[in-house]
Structure 1
Amino acid sequence: ERSAVSCTKYINISRLHKLIDSHWQHVKNFAIDVKQICCGCCSLGLHFRADGMNCEAHPSLGFHCRHIFMACCEGEQENGHNAWHPIRERPAMDPTALPKRGTVVQEVFISPLLYVNELVCDCLSENNPCEQQCTPVGGWPQCSCFPGYALATNGYSCEDINECLSAQACQLSERCVNTAGSYTCQRLISCPTGYHVVNDMCEDVDECVQRSHSCGPDLDCVNTIGSFRCNPKPRCATGFSKDLQGNCADVDECTLSQPCGPGSNCINTVGSYVCNRKIICSRGYHSSPDGSRCIDVDECQNGLHRCGEGQHCLNMAGSYRCECQTGYQYDSFKRMCVDINECWRYSGRLCAQTCVNTLGSYHCSCTVGFRLSGDGKTCEDVNECLSNPCGQECSNIYGSYQCYCTQGYYLREDGHSCDDIDECSQSIGHLCTYKCVNVAGSYHCACPEYGYTMSPNGRSCRDIDECTTGTHNCSLSETCYNIQGVSDTRCERISCPNYLDCQTSPLRITYYYLSFQSNIVIPAQIFRIGPSPAYSGDNVIVSITQGNEENYFSTRKLSAYTGAVYLHRQVEGPRDFLITVEMKLWRQGTFTTFQARIYVFITRSSL
C-alpha cells in the first residue's frame, strides 16, 4: 500500500487529468494499476483540501472517481494524516456461469475506483450501480437485466425489448402486441369486402350512410348486404321540385318569381298559381286570400281590441264593442269595470240570512243551526239530533237543539251527557222507611236483614210474625209472643236548614251559551226548559228573574211541563246578555226550583 502523502508526491493535478482521460479511453485495459488510479483520485481530493478549495468534483472524473475525490477532500484527520480505506481484493466469480434463458447480458467494466470501500464494492449495497441485476465477475460488478429487457448503452439501465419486431414472435394468423417485459399474440379476424370488424365480428358496411358509394348526383344509393346499388332518382312534375329528402314538393311561384302584375294578387296553388285583381277594403275589413272580396276583421280574436280590465270584447261588422262582464259595471272615473256589490245594492232581498259578495257575483250563507236550501237563498233548520249529539235524549229546536235525560238521570253542565241521580241523597223527605239504595237511573228501598219484610208499596217495612209463620224456636211447653223487630236508624243531613229554604233554593243551576246575529227574525224562540222525565200531574212555572231589565226577552208556557224563552225585540249587535231563567216544578204537592243561566251573544250582521 502507498500512503496518501506519498501519492501526493508523485501525482499533480495536470498528471491526474491526463491519467483520468487515459483511464476512460482504456477502461478495459487491465495494465493500469488500480491502486494508482485510486490514489490519484484521492490525491486530487487531498490537494483541494490543502489549498482550501471547494470540494466540487469535475464531471469528467466519473461517478466512482468523484466518490473517492469527495471522500478524501472532506475526510477527517487520523494521527496527523488523511485516512483512507485500502482496496480489498474480491474473490473472482466463475466466468463460465451462464445467465438464465431470456436474459440479455451486456458486460461492462466499471471503473476500478468503484472499490474505494466496502460499500462501493458491494453490489447488494445502497450504491448498487445496476438498475435490475448486479453480479460480481472477476472482482468487477457486471449489470444484467430481467427477461424481456436489454441493457442500455450506459451499462446499468434496462430497456424493454419489443419482441414484436421479431418475425417469429407470433404466427401469421395472429397479431403481436408488445407489453412491458413480454408480448401477447391476438387472433386476426378478416372480413370479406363490404364488411368490417365490430366487437370481433364481421358486420355489414352501410356505404350509403358512410358516403363511400360511387353513385352520381342523379342516382340514389340503396344499401345491400355486403354492397350497395344505385337507382335513378324520380323526376318531379311541373310546379314541383325535390326537397332535401328527395321528395317532390310544391313550388310557391308567388314567392319565387312574382308572376302577377302590380294590380293583381298572386295566389299559389298545388303545382301552379292564379292571379286575382286587387281590391281595396275599408277599415275593419281585409281582403280574402283569393283577393276577390272583403271580409270582416275579428279584432276580439286577433287581439286588436282595446278593452280594459274586467271587460270582454264583442266583435261587430267592421268594428267591435267592449262590455263589462256579468256582475261588473263600468266606472267612467276609473275607466274600468268594477265589481257590483249585490249584497248592498239588493240588501235583504237576495238571501234569507247572510249575503256574501264575491267578484262578479255573490252567495248566501246561514248561521249556526241552519243550512242553505236547494234554492241557494233560504235557510232551513238543521236537525242536530240526527247526528246523536246528546248522551240520551235530544230535542230539536229552531236553529239549535236541547239535550234531555231519562228518568233517574240529570244533564251535566256540558249540556250533552247525563249522570245518574242519587235519589237517596238528593230527595226531600224520606223515600224509604228504613234504608234507600241508589241504582243506575233509579233507587229501591231495603228492610232490616231479620224480622221485617218489604210492604207492597215498596217503601215501608212490615214486621214478620214468627209465631204465625212457625219460624220461632219456642218449645211445646212455651207460648210464642210476637214482638216488633228492631232495625238500625240512619240520619241524613239535607243541604238547607229548613223546609222553606229547600222550596226557594234551586235544586240545580245549569249554564248555557247562545249566539245569534243581529238580523235574526223576531220573535225567535231561543231556549226551552222542562223536567226530564215529565210525569202526569207535573206543572211548571217559567220566568226570567235577572238580566232582562231592557225587556228584550220574554217567556211562554208551551205545555204543562214545558216553557220557552223568546227574543222579541231587535238588538243592534254586538251585545251580550246574561239572563237567569227559573223553572218551578210542582210535583206531588211539592215545588222544586231549577235555574238556567243563559249567556246570549248578539253578533253584528255580515250584510
Structure 2
Amino acid sequence: ALRDSRCQAGMNAARAGHACEGSSQLCGEDSQTDCCNCCALGLRLRREGEGCEVHQHLSYPCGHVFLTCCEEGEEGLAPPMIKKKQRKITLCFFFADVNECVTNTHTCQADERCVNTVGGFVCERQILCSSGYQLRNGVCEDIDECVMRTHNCGMGFQCQNTDGSFTCNLKQRCLTGFTQDSHGNCIDIDECSSVSEPCTTGFNCINTVGSYTCQRKIIMCSRGYHSSPDGARCIDVDECQMGTHRCGEGQICHNLPGSYRCDCQTGYQYDAIRQLCVDVNECWRYPGRLCAQTCDNTAGSYQCSCTTGFSLAFDGKNCEDVNECDNNPCSQECANIYGSYQCYCRMGYYLKEDGHTCEDIDECSQSIGNLCAFQCVNVPGSYKCACPPHGYSMSPNGRTCQDIDECAIGSHNCSASQICFNIQGGFRCLSFACPDNYRRVSDIRCERVSCPNFQQCQTMPLRITYYQLSFQTNIVIPAQIFRIGPSPAYSGDNIIISIPHGNEEGYFSTRKLNSFTGAVYLHRQVREPRDFLIDVEMKLLRQGTFTTFLARIYVFITLR
C-alpha cells in the first residue's frame, strides 16, 4: 500500500488532460486506467495539479492496481509534500499487486506454468497436445477440422473428421470390395490381409479385384511323413502300428519321427553279420555273478542250479544245504554235513562197505561173553544187560541202551541264549556268537562284514560255520568224520586244509581227497568220553587269490 500525494495529483492530472512523467499518454477522463497505472508506478507528474477533489469511499479499478480516496480530516498521516492545506487532507492509498511470474519469485517447477493472481500466483502443469488436438480444461481434445473448416478437401470431396486429423472422401461411393483413398480414388481391398482367417484351415487365400478366392493347400511331405487329413501339415507315419516295418522275427519295433527302430527282446543281442537277434549267454558274459553254484543258459535268459547236496534257495540264485537225513538214507544213524551226510550205526552194529547199511555185531562171540551194550550181567542160562545210571534207558530188546534226548523232552538246563545239543548219554549247552567284524546270517553261520586292511582280508575267514558231531568211544579208527570243499567248484581251484586250533593232542588229521575236496579224520582211539572243539580251515586258491573259510566243529565222544 502506498500513501502519497501523487495519487491525488494523478487523478487531477487525469481530469486536466495532463500526462504522467515517464508516459507518453495523457491522463484524460477516458484514460483513467493508463493514468492510474502511470501514477501507481510512482511516476511524477510533469505539472502538478491543484488539490484533491474529495470523493468519499470512491474506488477506481485500474487493472491490477486499485485507487481508493479516503475521508478528509485525518491529520498527521499525509506526507509532508502534500500538507499544503492543513485543514483539509485527502489520503489516497494505492494497492499494487506484485507479479511473481514476471519478477521470477514464484516456486513453480520446470514443467509447470506460472499464472499470476491478485496477491499470489498459481502453478499449472503444462500439457502439450499433439498435432490435431487442443488443450481444453486441462485435457487434450480432438480438433474437428471439418467443423472448424480448417481442412483442405477440394470440391467434390467430403471432409470426415478422425482422431487428430481428417480424411477427404469422394462424395460418390465405391463398389463392394473397394475403398476410397485420401484423394477420393476407389482402390481394391486386400481381403487376405485385412480379414481375419478369410479361408478355412488347409486353404490359401488369393486376392482378386474386388474380392478373393480360397485354394486348397498342396504340401509335399518327406519320407516317413504324410499329409494330415486337412492338408495343412505333415504328420509322422507310424510304421510299427501300420505294419510297414521290416523288423525280423523276435524283434520289437519302436516308432521314431519319420522312421522306426528294431530292437531285440530282453536276453538277445543283434548280430550285424547275420542280421538277426541271437541269444545272449548270460552265464559266459557274467561268470560267477549270476548264480551261487551252477549257471545254465536258456533261450533269452538263464537259470541257476545247485550241485548234489544242495537245493536252490527262494531267490533262485543261492544254494542251501540239503539235509539228506530227512529222507533216511542210512539204515540207522545219519549225520548231516555241509553238502553231504554220514551214516553211523548204533551200539552193537558196524557200517558195511556200502556206507549206508549197519550190520549187527555178535557181542557174545567177539567180546568173550560180553553180550550187552554197556554192562552184561551173567546169569545161569542167559544174561541181562544194564545201562549207565544217567542219560540212557534200556531198549525194548533188553540188550542195548537207548540214549535219552534231553533236548527233545526238555529235561536240559540250558539257558535261553544257549543251544541244547543231544549226545549219547547226555547233552551239551552250546553258545553261538559271531566274532567282531562278522554278522550272523543263519543259525550256524557268520559272514565277514569288514577287515582292517588287505593283508588281514587274506587271512581272516570269509565265512565261519558251526557244526556238531557226536561219536562213541568204540568208533572204528581211522574214521572220516567231516568233508569240506568249495561250492561251486571250478576248474583250476585248489584248496589247503588244516586244523589251526583244537588238535593240540593230535586226535584228528586232515587229508586232501582232490584239488577241491578235503576230509577230517579221527585217527586216534578215544578211550573215555570227551568233548573237542576244533577249527578246520580251508584256504581256496582261485584265479590267483586266496579265500579262507572256517568250519568250527564240536566233536563229542561218548561211551559205547
Q: Could you tell me the TM-score, scaled by structure 2's length? A: 0.32
Higher share of residues assigned strand: 2
Higher relative helix content: 1
